[in-house]
Amino acid sequence: MYIKRVLSLLVSFAVIISALCCLSPVTVSAASKKFNMSYVYFGSTDSYVDFVDATRGSLDEVAPSYFDLNEDGSLKLTSKLDPDFIKAMHNRGIKVVPFLSNHWNRELGRKALKNRESLAREIAEAVKKHNLDGVNIDIENLNEEDRNNYTDFVRLVREALGKNKTVAVAVAANPSGRNTGWPGSYDYSALAKYADYLMIMAYDESYQGSEPKAVASYRFVENSIKYALSKVSADKIVLGIPFYGRYWLGTEGGKGIGSNEIERLIKKYNGKVYFDDVTKSAKAVINITSSEKYSGGTISKGVYTFWYDNEQALKYKLSLVQKYNLKGTGSWSLGQEPQGTWDYYSLWLNGHYFDDISGHWAQDSILSAQKKGLMFGTGGSKFRPDLPTTRAQAATILVRALKLEPAKAVGETFRDVNGHWARQEIETAQAYGIIRGVGEGRFAPDEPITREQMAVMLDRILNLDIDPENLVYFIDTNVEELTWSYSAIIRLASRNVFSGYPNGFFYPKQNITRAQMAVLMDRLSEYFAAE
């Protein structure tokens, strides 16, 4: 019987599954998971841990505002430096890499560069003293005259910190490839020799005093990426993403405001939101009828236009990380993101574009099954987790999981699979003794597979003995009514491969959904890893 060939493969299958099941819940390996950092600036230090926890494990690194500059260009530690926050982040496996800022003060930035040897040592001493993980250098509003000094400063910081600490540089977006002005102060190629990554500030396409327009249009962002790739390898590029927008009264304004605050105003005043297909950004028009305070000030009465990145806009930007295989993303700033951002952010960042599994109870298992090549979407951006799994899909998933070579059964094959998309997989599963038909030479490939049918399939593969210390009996499962499937159900339940419902029922005739199938494959992975 071909089943013996299947059993001989289980040892190698167990090794494969063991390796896969050790992956993180995000379902991507450490080598392929995209990097994600965020700046922490607004709000009280007491709120920072809550900001981070709201990301549900999405962050690898945070950059709080701990390093400023004194008037002579020496290092100034800010009042926000918080040992408890640093410890809390490390307990969560998150690096703390504070950013060094001159807050757009050109004179102060130049003093820092003039004082660069001493400043680099001061940074290294502060990093060591406060158990920090490096520094994010964010000195802005310099120009081409400062380019070489800027690069030399980053070199000195790298030498002072050593290889085991992070050195990041926030650089101006440069979609037009300018060598003068603020973008001209950054020598991308030279900086990348000393920095772990360059964080492209791909925002502020609009600014205070500009005409109303997107904070970061799709073309602006993509062209900024293309310029960076002409100078630096993709694995050193972190794409900066705005968690804020700007608002105008008529054509006047452009002041920044958190995206979460924009959404609050939209809801409160029944604002109208439009998505601009050209810039791939959101525009909201809100008639504010009473004075509104927000973190950046006060908005008086009037009809305002807000440009910001809502979920749709953010997803476009995240897709660019995959398109160009960048290192990952950075965001300004944590706590300002639109509601629900962390339901999809890590999924899209890592190339999982199913838009119907965010927040689903089986989300992690679905992504795990996709990553292993066992299950895919049903077209477009849909996985349809609550649709039933068909018998053809089940056979295909098991053939993929076992890495079985294509084969044909000896004797008669199923007459209803000719021309079917899964014909080869079905015939292979039949050849290896995993499946049998429903009678009269039929397999019924497009009918839903039931829980008892799946139990029998898995029982044929696993060939498990009953665990007498973990026997499980179900109210609706007895040998008289389920003569062909009863023993398989009991064996798998005793081995925790299959489980029943809290009410004591197994529901053997119930269809298995695609989500349940993904979870079942995860459970099998854990079983083989434990062997």
Q: What is the pLDDT of residue 498?
A: 82
Q: What is the pLDDT of residue 27?
A: 38
- Mean pLDDT of each 10-residue bin along the chain, 531 residues long: 39 30 35 90 95 97 98 98 98 98 98 98 98 98 98 98 98 98 98 98 97 97 98 98 98 97 97 90 96 95 97 93 96 96 91 87 89 80 93 92 87 88 91 91 96 92 90 91 92 87 94 94 63 40
Q: What is the pLDDT of residue 1?
A: 39
Q: Which of 61, 71, 125, 140 is catalytic?
A: 140
Q: What is the pLDDT of residue 386?
A: 96
Active site residue 447: no
| Cα–Cα dist 513/387, whole Å | 5
DSSP 382-400: B--TTSBPBHHHHHHHHHH
Half-sphere exposure of 74 (CA within 13 A, CB side): 5
464 burial via Cβ count (<10 Å: 0-12, 13-18, 19+):
middle
DSSP 274-337: EEETTTTEEEEEEEE-S-EEETTEEE-SEEEEEEE--HHHHHHHHHHHHHTT-SEEEEE-TT-S
60 burial via Cβ count (<10 Å: 0-12, 13-18, 19+):
middle
Nearest Cα to Cα of residue 160 among 180, 136, 134: 134
Q: Classify strands 61-64 and 95-96 as parallel, antiparallel or unpaired.
A: parallel
SS3 456: helix
- Superfamily assignment of 34-242+313-349 in CATH? Glycosidases (3.20.20.80)
In this structure, what token pair is assigned to residue 194? 């000393």
SS3 46: helix
Cβ–Cβ < 8 Å for 352, 367? yes
User: Residue 245 pairs with which residues in a beta bridge?
Assistant: 257
Q: What is the pLDDT of residue 531?
A: 40
| Cα–Cα dist 420/400, whole Å | 17
In sequence order, the 6+-apart residues with CB closer than 8 A to the CB of 42 are 258, 295, 333, 335, 336
- Position 254: which residue type? G
User: Cα dihedral sign for 150, 156, 159, 165?
Assistant: negative
Cite the beta strand spans of 22-89 per DSSP E.
35-40, 61-64, 67-69, 75-77
User: Residue 302 pairs with which residues in a beta bridge?
Assistant: 288
In sequence order, the 6+-apart residues with CB closer than 8 A to the CB of 129 are none
Q: Classify strands 244-249 and 252-258 as parallel, antiparallel or unpaired.
A: antiparallel
Respond yes or no on whether the N-terminal peptide bond of residue 333 is cis (omega within 30° of 0): yes
In this structure, what token pair is assigned to residue 213? 């327009």
Q: Quickly count: other Cβ atoms within 10 Å of residue 501's Cβ.
A: 12
| Cα–Cα dist 378/384, whole Å | 7
What is the residue extent of each domain of the chain?
3-18+362-530, 34-242+313-349
Eight-state DSSP code of residue 167: E
| Cα–Cα dist 253/276, whole Å | 20
- Position 15: which residue type? V
Q: What is the pLDDT of residue 12?
A: 32
